[in-house]
Structure 1
Amino acid sequence: MPRFFQGGVDSFFTLLKGRDELTDLVYIHGFDVRLDDWPRRHAIASMGGAVAASMGMRFIEVESNLARVLEDFGSWPLHGHGFALMSVARALAGDISEIRVPGTHSLKGQKPWGSWLDTDPLFSDQRLSVVHDACEAERVDKIIALADQPLALRYLRVCWGRVDGMYNCCRCEKCLRTMATLHALGKLEASAAFPLPLSASLVGRVLLPRYGLRAYARENMELLQRYRPDEREMIAALRKQLRRPIWLSIRLIKWHKRINRWRNHAARLNAWIQGGAR
């Protein structure tokens, strides 16, 4: 049975949970990484090939520009990514008879989302069965399971960032969230996927613009209180995330994006001036 695989927590958990049933890993270039981002594309292809080879499976690479097409019609996480995944699944129908989609949310945490339990199976027919692989495990439960898997610690990829030369940027919300969980479990230093150090100050600056993101901070705080209660600064940093109002996080994110645009414009202008001076 093939399954979609991008190297994230949900992907790796579904892979290791169903390793005896799966035959192929399908990765789609162009969804979470730009088609023209060749360094990251090469790194992900190498990762997928290595993971598939170690599991005795095939690695199937698909290229699609649907992410660019759909971005003008709605939110990618809320609407687009599920439809895009199903479009690729339907394109493969005939060559495959069943495909498994890693579930983002647990069975009790199901909610309307781009890809979720109630909609993914609706794309099935006599030629293709689409299985949304949701289970009882929450995200933190999945990372706890992956923390003892050397393959996951080496290749886990949660980052959509565009940092040159970095597999995971180690500084975005998703990276720091995952790193905090691994740190609480005492496994961060063993994870080659996150080479940069973690600090309480970095965790405290993480902005949570949606209520759904707060569950991850609570889970990490509970893990630290259980396994590393002496980590008072890290626990306080997670509490700081939770105390920061949603509206403030949204405004700060917009301000940071504006500053980054100004910096990019200034860098291009400076390069143009220096080029003219020569």
Structure 2
Amino acid sequence: MAGRGLHIGIEETEGGGMVRRTVLLSEDGARRRHRVVYEFEDPSGTAADRPMDGAVMAFLFHAMQRGLPVHVHGPVTRTALYNIDTLQGVWRRWRPDRYRTVEILPEAVIDRTAPKPGRRAIAAYSGGLDSTFTILRHRLLLPPERRHGVGALLMVHGFDVALDRPGDFERLVERTRSFRDLVGLDLRVVRTNSKELHLQNWQDSHAAELAACLHLYGAEFEFGLIGSTKPYDALVIPYGTTPIADHLLSGDGFSIVHDGAACSRTEKAAAVAAHPEAVRSLRVCWEGAEQFRNCGVCEKCMRTRMNFAAAGVAAPACFDGPLDPARIAGIPVRNEPQAAELRSIVDYARRHGVQGEWLERLKERVQVIHPGAIHTGTGHTGTGQPEPVPVRAMKAASASLRQAAGALLDAMELKQPLKRVRNRLRTRS
């Protein structure tokens, strides 16, 4: 591949109060050129206010996987260039079989260090528990002197809700209205096809692709907040979003902040539970056919139900009906992080003196997944009879096979396309 390289350029047009920013991604010697579109409303910025920091970060994983130098046809800030170099080092250590360090060659390196008036922040918001907690923290929960001055929320159409589901996205926006009214913040929307092009591994790149959307508002805000997914004592490495690396998605004049990792998911649920508007607005599901609501029975929905149950809320309003303990035994656990989440719920409930049938079922499920993790009880079938060791072993082996299959699909970058096909089939049926 001597002499070859990748090229990143920008086209930008404005009309009707909307900005259409197109990132042109091409490779020497290849005929195909990718057009990655971002459509958004920006009341304060112009093309000159948007350096190409975010554009480079958005497709850095594609470049590292190709192992080619990146020619950037536009300016990159000095801080971003330094951070991108460090970020590449992180991922080269984490996934040496997948990524190589590549040279970033911008047309110009610029300095933009002057603070913006008010030092305001824009917070990424999906309707999920993590982002809801982060926004509540910085609007209502923290003392004013410890808050980031969040001035707007950013929701991306094309990430959690597919671009070809505009109706679902509109219904999600409406679903979250009561929470946005509670915190008194306007919603900014970016529509992009960056995820659906499948140019890189989403599990690795999702924070970088989200940061690229936040960077679009760098002329107005000084910080972009990303809610944590794991607490400091249970970090998943490697993973696309982490307090270890998210700050490296910052540039001059616009800093990405990974927020909330001092709290577990159940602790976040306990804080959110005090605000009914926030609970009603929650949308945590990614497996359901309807992308604006919670299916209530997938792994993440069941796990979130138990987060709230451990926090003393048996039937949170974001779900249709209360938790059914009989479903806990069938929760699919595809990887160790999911297993760790279930164990953390048991630990929280034990520390807070919580009891209930659902908790006993969860202990049984954890014991099957990871024998010895729970030291009380022997594991049961859910019928009151002890579960034979061979049955537990078979279930554990089945979980391992599912995890391996999921990892294979992820490596082949087939998981998201298969999910979209499945959702369309569900919708038609």
TM-score computed with the length of structure 2 as normaliser: 0.54
Equivalent residue for 1:7, pick from 103, 127, 134? 127
- How many angstroms apart in 2 are the aligned matches of 1:30 and 1:139? 25
CA distance, structure 2, for counterparts of residue 184 and residue 135 of structure 1: 19
Q: Distance in 2 between matches of 1:39 and 1:128?
A: 32
Following superposition, the deviation at residue 51 of structure 1 comes to: 2.2
**Map of 1:35 onto structure 2:** 163
Tell me how many residue pairs correspond in the alignment. 260
The separation in 1 between residues aligned to 2:249 and 2:311, in whole angstroms, is: 39
Deviations 1:88-146 (A, max 9, x none): 12222223222111111223334432122232222222231211114421111111211
The one-character-per-residue Cα deviations of 1:21-41 (angstroms, maximum 9, x if unpaired) are: 211111111111211223421
- C-alpha distance 37-210 of structure 1, shift in aligned 2 (>3 A): same
Question: Over the residues paired in the alignment, what is the CA RMSD in angstroms?
Answer: 3.0
CA deviation string 1:205-237 (max 9, x = no partner): 0011111111221222334555443x2464134
Q: Describe the superposition over 1:232-254 as per-residue Cα deviations: whole angstroms up to 9, x where unpaired.
A: 46413442244145541254586
- Cα distance in 2 for residues equivalent to 1:65 and 1:96: 24
Aligned match of 1:274? none
Residues in 1 aligned to 2:281 and 2:131: alpha-carbon distance in whole angstroms: 11
Unmatched runs of 5 consecutive residues or more in structure 1 = 272-278
Structure 1 residue identity aligned to 2:242: W
* Separation in structure 2 between the aligned mates of residue 200 and residue 31 of structure 1, nearest angstrom: 31
Point out where structure 2 has 5 or more consecutive residues left out of the alignment: 1-120, 370-394, 407-414
What letter is aligned with 2:398?
L
SS for the counterpart of 1:22 is: strand
Task: Please show how residues 1-278 of structure 1 align to structure 2 within 5 Å.
Answer: 1-19=121-139, 21-69=149-197, 71-74=198-201, 76-77=202-203, 79-110=204-235, 111-164=237-290, 167-189=293-315, 191-225=316-350, 226-229=352-355, 231-232=356-357, 234-244=359-369, 247-251=397-401
SS in 2 for 1:208: coil
> Structure 1 counterpart of 2:318, which letter?
A
CA distance in 1 between partners of 2:223 and 2:308 (Å): 33
**TM-score (norm: length of structure 1):** 0.81
Q: Does the aligned pair in 2 maintain the 1:13–1:145 contact within 8 Å?
A: yes
Asked if 2 retains the 8 angstrom alpha-carbon contact of 1:214 and 1:242, the reply is no
Cα distance change, pair 237–109 in 1 and its aligned pair in 2 (3 A): closer
Instruction: Look up the equivalent residue of 2:129 and give its one-letter code.
Output: V
Q: CA deviation at 1:176?
A: 0.3
Identity, % of aligned positions: 24
Aligned-partner SS, 1:192 = coil
8 Å Cα contact 1:11-1:102 kept in structure 2: yes
Distance 1:62 1:177, change over 3 A: same
